[in-house]
Amino acid sequence: MADRTLVRLQDVAARAGVSIATASRMLSDPDYGGRAALRERVLAAAAELGYRANPHARALATSSSTNVGLVVHDVRDSYFAMLSGGVISVAEREDLLVSMVCTYRDPARELEYVKRLIGQRVRALVLAGSAFRDTAHNAAMRAELAAYQESGGSVVSVTRGRDIGHLVQIDNIGGMRGLAGAMVELGHTSFGVVAGPLRLLAVRDRLQGLRQGLKDHGIVLSRDDIVYTDLSREGGLSGAQTLMSRPNPPGCLMTLADVMAFGAMSWLRSNGIAVPDEVSVTGFGGLPAAVDAVPPLATVEIPLERVGETAMDLALRPPSPRHVVEVEGTLARRASAAAPR
């Protein structure tokens, strides 16, 4: 924008009859002493003129901006929308602006955006897109983040996989373990798992927890019990189709995300397979929509908003000492999962 309609500090100073140095101090430092009369004149002038400091000039002078970067997979996915809501609400409280980018789970894209956000001199970076299992990519990210942190930036990751910055660790393993155990306790013995791509650490963790939960009760998942699709509604739909079209369909269909469960239930409904009478279905995440699903979706509820708030809170802390906040999920037993007939 071609400025010059906007008032500058100089305008305020002139109107108040002080130097810009004084005006600057009065305006930006509430603890600055100074003559009360001057202070009032400056404040009044600023108010009358509708003065707002140019953040770019300020950022340049102080080498510190008032923006934070938020990296998610996709806003359109409720999981990330909820989380973003938490981040944004805390940022607003702190007078910070959130720049949001979507990676669509593409490592190259993630790296590029992180570089861009760092290039933008954001004060903090909240990385909430799932981490990848990709050594080269992780090394590149690490290098980038380390340099950024070195230069004063704050890094917070949601999900493990980066040994740098603060961490909000969602208990994917424990949550899934508990859910799987609950399914066995319900009486299930045959399982079908609709998983996402193994390159996502969240997928690996949830899968591990699931396996563990079954194993706790002596059930071992075989290779064939798992189908790998996309961590999305469509993935859940096609995964359900694959598993349920087999000669011996499972009695309990566990998906790794609520959206996948929605897709699976949609397929089951279209194909006249009753939930939970013929097959139980579970999700993970605890999206608001899970409650309204029919039947209501059994899942692991993650307090996503709180995760976002916590992440943003940590982003405000100095990088050292490093904080790790564990967030546990809550088992939500609902009608989509019941004892097998």
Partner DNA sequence: CTGAAAGCGCTTACAG
Closest CA relative to residue 310, chosen from 149, 86, 96, 147? 86
Contact partner at residue 25 from its own copies, DNA, none, CB < 5 to 8 Å by partner kind: DNA
Confirm or reject binding of residue 38 to DNA (CB under 7 A): yes
* Stretch near its own copies under the rule CB under 8 A, chosen from 19-27, 142-150, 158-166, 248-256: 142-150
Q: How far is the CB of 108 from DNA (least distance, A)?
A: 24
Contact partner at residue 206 from its own copies, DNA, none, CB < 5 to 8 Å by partner kind: none
DSSP sequence for 143-205? HHHHHHHHTT-EEEEESSS--SSEEEEE-HHHHHHHHHHHHHHTT---EEEEE--TTBHHHHH
Q: How many CB atoms lie within 10 A of CB 183?
A: 27
**# residues contacting DNA (CB under 7 A):** 29
- Contacts of residue 199, defined as CB under 8 A and 6 or more positions apart, other chains included, come to 132, 133, 134
Q: Judged by CB under 8 A, which of 10, 19, 28, 64 binds its own copies?
A: 64
Closest CA relative to residue 68, chosen from 156, 138, 5? 156
Residue 316 CA to residue 323 CA, distance in Å, equals 11
Contact partner at residue 223 from its own copies, DNA, none, CB < 5 to 8 Å by partner kind: none
Confirm or reject binding of residue 58 to DNA (CB under 7 A): yes
- In degrees and rounded to multiples of 5, residue 200 shows phi and psi of -90, 125
- In the window 8-37, what residues touch DNA (CB under 7 A)? 8-10, 18-22, 24-25, 27-28, 33-35
- In the window 79-98, what residues touch DNA (CB under 7 A)? none
Q: How many CB atoms lie within 10 A of CB 163?
A: 12
Q: How far is CA 19 from CA 14, 23, 33, 54, in A?
A: 7, 6, 15, 18
Residue closer to DNA by CB (options 36, 220) is: 36
Q: Judged by CB under 7 A, which of 53, 273, 325, 335 binds DNA?
A: 53
Residue 167 CA to residue 180 CA, distance in Å, equals 26
Q: Judged by CB under 8 A, which of 9, 13, 46, 102 binds its own copies?
A: 102
Q: Judged by CB under 8 A, which of 98, 127, 145, 202 binds its own copies?
A: 98
* Residue type at 186 in one-letter notation: L
- In the window 182-201, what residues touch DNA (CB under 7 A)? none
DSSP letter assigned to residue 223: G
Binding track, positions 225-264, relative to DNA; x by CB under 7 A: ----------------------------------------
* Residue type at 1 in one-letter notation: M
- In the window 248-267, what residues touch its own copies (CB under 8 A)? 262, 265-266
Q: Judged by CB under 7 A, which of 40, 44, 47, 63 binds DNA?
A: 63
For residues 212, 216, 221, 225, the Cα torsion angle rounded to the nearest 10 degrees is -80
Q: Judged by CB under 8 A, which of 42, 46, 114, 118 binds its own copies?
A: 118
Residue 284 CA to residue 312 CA, distance in Å, equals 23
Q: How far is the CB of 14 from its own copies (least distance, A)?
A: 20
Residues that bind its own copies (CB under 8 A): 1-6, 52-57, 59-60, 63-67, 74-76, 78, 81-82, 84-85, 88-89, 92, 97-102, 115-121, 123, 147-148, 150-153, 233, 262, 265-266, 269, 288-289, 291-294, 305
